[in-house]
Structure 1
Amino acid sequence: MSVIAVAAAPHVRELFLDPGTAAALRRLGEVRLPADGADVGDEAVLARLLADADVVVTGWGTAPLTAAVLAAAPRLRLLAHTGAGVKPFVTPESFARGVRVTQAGDAMAYAVGEQALALTLAMLHRLHRFDHALRSGADWASAKDAPPRRELRGATVGVVGASRTGRAYLGLVRTFGARVLVADPYLSDAEAVALGVERVGLEELLARSPVLSLHAPVLPETIGMIGAPELALLPDRALLVNTARSALVDETALLAELRTGRIDAALDVFDAEPLPVDHPFRRLPNVLLTPHEAAGTVESRRRAGAIVVAEIDRFLRGRQLAHEVRPEQLARMG
């Protein structure tokens, strides 16, 4: 019988493995859990857990598969991650050892797209400004004094990155009647036509987009891709939504632009997380903040758990994995 080590803390297991999914996992093999109180972020703890494991299920805080961990886990052949980003866990040594990798990023795309839509709608209707004014003690008339409100129907929305989340978001805003521009060097003209979007360069997208939503991965070429010059291209009263990664944006430049009041922003990701309690973003009326929770719906977590179990089942049966990450793909993943 195959041994499946679940290298995740209890609260992570509860989020991703509901009773039915956990039962399905147990039907695939012998499930090993960390000892109570054990920290799977400790390489020595992880090494002991994987001593005779064929499969490891990873979550937030799991230690990487270093050479030392791999040396203690001679049978390990699959890493199945409950999230999307596998870079913290896989290593050149793990690929060299033949450990295959799969992940559940598809499960989270819709949730992130839907939150990006919710943030877009909230900003278009200036809900964040109204809320800030009323909570800060502004009188009724002053609280009503906000920039003009707009509808999503008929609006032009720029999407940077035709990723899974980008495609989920653009599909949703198109349903509301928005026109969508996409900047993504990997998106072909044929794919753009199939998605019903216009493919343009980044500078053109910024200049034409009253609404901008970021969905690109963090790669050497995307770090800081939205800096002061790019922000200056946005139309007055533009709205920026970032549910992707903070590294895509020069945070200092964004703060300076926001302080002018020229644009508004909705941010789910930050350079420093947790966001410091004294961070200037918290005090600006034109900023809508969420604590890096765009993917955190109940349904998203349950889908992720189901994907992981299905992938392990495929692996153990010798079938093709549906969500495998190969070494050459890792460089393009955020």
Structure 2
Amino acid sequence: MTRPLVLCAPEPRALDQIFTPQALSTLRDRYRLHETDAASVAALPSETLAEARYILGQPPLDESALAAMTSLRAILNVESNLLQNMPYAPLFERGIHVLTTGQVFAQPVAEIGLGFALALARQIVDADLDFREGREAWGLDGARRSRLLTGSDIGLVGYGDLGRALHRLLVPFRARLRVFDPWLPDAVIAEAGAEPADLDTVLAASDFIFVVASVTSENQGFLGADAFARMRAGAAFILLSRAGVVDFDALMAAVASGHIVAASDVYPEEPLPPGHPVRALPGFLRSAHRAGALTSALTRMGDMVLDDMALMDRGLPPARLKRAERETVARMRSKPVEKT
């Protein structure tokens, strides 16, 4: 029996990043792999397109290429973005699954987000740098600006996979957790043990604000100067999802003024140019889009891909990967980064 064909164009990743050696061996045993680059998929011979059961990656496709893919069952997107580079309506009409693996990043990003919050609350990085330079302040003198995460007011902007993973980590801190997510009914948030709130309340009533919302056509730059001005003096703003949801210049200005402190793993331009002002901004904790970049997270992708392909081979729906939704996929505006 001929093994099913998989078109492999997993940019920006490589197969040996996504799959452990054992999992990659399993993939090669179960399927025939046609490895190519994303830009070349739509131009493959028509007989190759017609035979493909799965696409591993997120290559640009036009309607004619998709029409030629008469055996296609799923596109398995191995990054956390949904690009506007294929005709989603015909995919949904034909019952072809568009699946994403971005949820593998939720736990590692949530953990580093918690680390950012603790570092800002206790000035851990600044204290270490002071110690190295011999200008440390001891005891209470070195902790006058410190505070506890325990018992604080915490706000989440967004409550998807990342927001929920972060919520689980925050439970032991006995904080009051308010959540703003316009794509969810209040009941979903309340049943998870958080308090639904509007954006103004989350901004004004929080000591720590975690931004974990995806960039959409409706929220680009929606956190600007007015939003930062509404935050409590000294509050910590922690940006974990995508820089496109904030006015980054306004964020830097709010930090530079001393009104808030901030941490970010993401930036409007990546990599940042050497002279970008955020590099030298006091009160700003910086991370180079590395929060989810763990080998253990990437190889979870391969396990999930294999599991769901095995289900679909049997005529069953995928169970581990997240499905793109017809109502929201066209609104997504997150951009891929060059280094992951």
The correspondence for 2:196, drawn from 196, 199, 207, is 199
Matched, 1:57 2:56: yes
Does structure 2 retain, via aligned residues, the 8 Å contact 1:203–1:233? yes
Instruction: Give, in whole Å, the separation in 1 of the partners of 2:130 and 2:68.
Output: 58
Instruction: Give, in whole Å, the separation in 1 of the partners of 2:130 and 2:69.
Output: 57
Shift of 1:147: 5.7
Tell me, what secondary structure is at the counterpart of 2:52? coil
Residues 286 and 189 of structure 1: CA distance in aligned 2, closer, same or farther (over 3 Å): same
Which residue of structure 2 lines up, in the alignment, with residue 174 of structure 1?
171
Instruction: Give, in whole Å, the separation in 1 of the partners of 2:296 and 2:168.
Output: 19
Does structure 1 retain, via aligned residues, the 8 Å contact 2:122–2:143? no
Which residue of structure 1 lines up, in the alignment, with residue 247 of structure 2?
250
The correspondence for 1:48, drawn from 27, 44, 47, is 44
Matched, 1:3 2:23: no
Tell me, what secondary structure is at the counterpart of 2:179? strand
Instruction: Give, in whole Å, the separation in 1 of the partners of 2:106 and 2:317.
Output: 22
| TM-score for both structures, normalised by structure 1 | 0.87
Shift of 1:294: 1.7
Count of residue pairs the alignment pairs up? 324
Deviations 1:170-196 (A, max 9, x none): 121122322211111233332223221
Which residue of structure 2 lines up, in the alignment, with residue 229 of structure 1?
226
Does structure 2 retain, via aligned residues, the 8 Å contact 1:80–1:308? yes
The correspondence for 1:317, drawn from 299, 314, 321, is 314
Structure 2: 5+ residue stretches without partners:
335-340
The correspondence for 1:238, drawn from 216, 235, 238, is 235
Deviations 1:76-99 (A, max 9, x none): 332111223222553347627834
Please tell me the residue identity of whatever aligns with 1:228.
A
Shift of 1:44: 3.0
Structure 1: 5+ residue stretches without partners:
35-39
Tell me, what secondary structure is at the counterpart of 1:281? helix
User: How do residues 282-321 of structure 1 correspond to structure 2 at under 5 angstroms?
Assistant: 282-321=279-318
Does structure 1 retain, via aligned residues, the 8 Å contact 2:91–2:97? yes
Shift of 1:134: 5.2
Shift of 1:53: 2.1
Instruction: Give, in whole Å, the separation in 2 of the partners of 1:213 and 1:119.
Output: 10
Instruction: Give, in whole Å, the separation in 2 of the partners of 1:175 and 1:332.
Output: 35
Deviations 1:219-262 (A, max 9, x none): 23221121101100111111011111111111111111111122
Residues 47 and 213 of structure 1: CA distance in aligned 2, closer, same or farther (over 3 Å): same
Matched, 1:106 2:103: yes
Instruction: Give, in whole Å, the separation in 2 of the partners of 1:197 and 1:223.
Output: 25
Tell me, what secondary structure is at the counterpart of 2:99? strand
Please tell me the residue identity of whatever aligns with 2:19.
L
RMSD: 2.6
Residues 254 and 169 of structure 1: CA distance in aligned 2, closer, same or farther (over 3 Å): same
Please tell me the residue identity of whatever aligns with 2:323.
E
Tell me, what secondary structure is at the counterpart of 1:63? coil
Instruction: Give, in whole Å, the separation in 2 of the partners of 1:20 and 1:213.
Output: 37
Shift of 1:146: 6.8
Which residue of structure 1 lines up, in the alignment, with residue 338 of structure 2?
none
The correspondence for 1:260, drawn from 257, 260, 279, is 257
Instruction: Give, in whole Å, the separation in 2 of the partners of 1:54 and 1:4.
Output: 6
Shift of 1:145: 5.6
Matched, 1:29 2:28: no
Instruction: Give, in whole Å, the separation in 2 of the partners of 1:255 and 1:230.
Output: 13
Which residue of structure 2 lines up, in the alignment, with residue 37 of structure 1?
none
Please tell me the residue identity of whatever aligns with 2:273.
P
Instruction: Give, in whole Å, the separation in 2 of the partners of 1:297 and 1:32.
Output: 27
Instruction: Give, in whole Å, the separation in 2 of the partners of 1:221 and 1:179.
Output: 28
Which residue of structure 1 lines up, in the alignment, with residue 273 of structure 2?
276
Matched, 1:125 2:122: yes
Shift of 1:45: 5.6
Moved more, 264-273 or 171-180: 171-180
Please tell me the residue identity of whatever aligns with 1:30.
R
Shift of 1:67: 3.7
